[in-house]
Amino acid sequence: MRTRVALALGSAVCLVAVSAFTQQFPLRQQTPPLVRGPVQIEKVKDGLYVIRGPFVPCGARGCRPGRVDDGIIREPGDVALRVTPAGLILVDDKYEENVADVLARVRAVSPLPIRYLLNTHHHGDHTGGNVTLRDMGVDVIAHKNIRENFIRTKQPGAPNITFADQSAVYLGGVEVQLFYFGRGHTNGDTVIYFPDLKTVHTGDLIIDGMPVIDYAGGGSAVAFIKTLDNLLQLDFDTMIPGHGRVMRKDDVRAYKVRFEEMNRRMATIVRHHTPVEQAQAALKLEELGWANSVSTSTWAAEFRSYYDEIAAATR
């Protein structure tokens, strides 16, 4: 009897603690709208820069045929530049047509050669420039699943060096670590960690909008939460997301809280046998700040797979 009481009290304490933790963060993500403009570079910390843009309507490649202008400005993936005395380390490289602009911004910071290119995942808005960098003699390093996804989708510019769980590059006295913490946006999401600067580049594990799960690329909304837990074990205070403004560690914590809330709501919807056609509206994404974000339309295209994954997890 005493054991049951102790367990009940322990459970109550845990629930209170979880509730208190959740209440630290606003449920609704506040994302400032983007404004049209060219590729730009900004300093994050000494020796570390982020390259963003171009900022265009319709989609990350602009208003191409078949894309409707929904009034939201978007951008291809954020690129990180780490400067060392012995050369440069680049994280991602946007679409192929953006590479010249990216390299111009790099040259404005340093004339030193690019020694390594690190890929966060295989999507073309982050890796479309791999061919150009490979032709320049740059080694491209990525998780083994990223290379497999390149081969599977017949993308050019596959990484020529791979790792399984953890790796690192050392250049000019600077260490940059690469971690695979599990499935999330895809099955190859890699976190790039700059330990001396306490900064991470998360790729599309975190974006300034709602999370997107690429099911064809091995992503998982359920595994995503554990992957974010693993990410939060790193000692960092600053984060470069896959898309969007530079953020803080608390932004990752808040993102995880919202994601967990979305999954909880989806599980409830499934248990109530809500038809898939009505389920998306029932999620009330506007309460999370995700109803009309830069990534909502991409997420919506995968909604059936999301519904099915949560349904399978709640059986």
CA 211/CA 108 separation, integer angstroms: 33
Residue ranges in the chain whose pLDDT is less than 70: 1-25
Instruction: Give residue 228's pLDDT.
Output: 98
DSSP string, 25-68: S-SS---PPP--B--EEEEEETTEEEEE--BEESSTT-S-TT--
Whether the CB-CB separation of 246 and 205 falls below 8 Å is answered with: no
Instruction: Give residue 10's pLDDT.
Output: 46
The answer, as to whether pTM is greater than 0.95, is no
Helix (H, G, I), strand (E, B) or coil at 131: helix
* 251-267 exposure pattern, b = at least 16 Cβ within 10 A, e = fewer: bbebbbbbbeebbebbe
**Nearest-10 crossing angle of helices 221-231, 249-271:** 160
Q: Confirm whether 188 is domain-assigned.
A: yes
CA 10/CA 20 separation, integer angstroms: 15
Instruction: Give residue 14's pLDDT.
Output: 41
CA 298/CA 308 separation, integer angstroms: 17
Give residue 63's domain range. Answer: 28-256
Instruction: Give residue 23's pLDDT.
Output: 53
* Nearest by Cα to 62 from 106, 95, 33: 95
Convert the pLDDT of each residue in 136-165 to its tens digit. 999 999 999 999 999 999 999 999 999 999
Q: State the total domains in the chain.
A: 1
Instruction: Give residue 202's pLDDT.
Output: 98
Q: Confirm whether 225 is domain-assigned.
A: yes
Helix or strand holding residue 12 (H, E): helix 2-23
CA 94/CA 254 separation, integer angstroms: 27
Instruction: Give residue 2's pLDDT.
Output: 42
Q: Name the pairing type of β-strands 114-118 and 139-143.
A: parallel
Tell me the Ramachandran region of residue 150: left when phi exceeds 0, alpha when psi lies from -120 to 50, beta otherwise. alpha
Q: Confirm whether 180 is domain-assigned.
A: yes
Q: Confirm whether 299 is domain-assigned.
A: no
Instruction: Give residue 20's pLDDT.
Output: 46
Q: Which amino acid is at 73?
A: I
Q: Confirm whether 263 is domain-assigned.
A: no
Convert the pLDDT of each residue in 264-275 to its tens digit. 999 999 999 999
Instruction: Give residue 30's pLDDT.
Output: 86
Instruction: Give residue 28's pLDDT.
Output: 87
Q: Confirm whether 267 is domain-assigned.
A: no
Q: Which amino acid is at 181?
A: F
Q: Confirm whether 288 is domain-assigned.
A: no
DSSP string, 211-266: ----TTTT--HHHHHHHHHHHTTS--SEEE-SSSS-EEHHHHHHHHHHHHHHHHHH
Instruction: Give residue 25's pLDDT.
Output: 66
Q: Confirm whether 290 is domain-assigned.
A: no
CATH number of the domain that 221 lies in? 3.60.15.10
Structure tokens at 48: 């570390």
* Nearest by Cα to 124 from 155, 147, 146: 155
